[in-house]
Amino acid sequence: MDFNPPLAGKTIIFNGPVRKLLTDPLEKLRHLIHRRIPSISK
């Protein structure tokens, strides 16, 4: 479900800095969980 109707179906271009490149799958999982639940440490 798209909760952002004005942008639905449009191409969005975003420029931003890469802070860290995650290559280890376990490290990726830890960071994803930390984004949703900040009280869990990375």
What is the distance between the alpha carbons of residues 22 and 28, in angstroms, rounded to a whole number? 6
Q: Which pLDDT score is estimated for 42?
A: 75
Residue 30 burial (C-beta neighbours within 10 Å; 0-12, 13-18, 19+): middle
Phi-psi region of 37 (alpha: psi -120 to 50; beta: other; left: phi over 0): beta
Note the pTM of the prediction, 2 decimals.
0.53
9 three-class SS: coil
d(CA 3, CA 5): 6
> What pLDDT digit, counting tens, does each position of 3-27 carry?
768 888 889 898 999 999 999 999 9
Residue spans per domain, the chain:
5-36
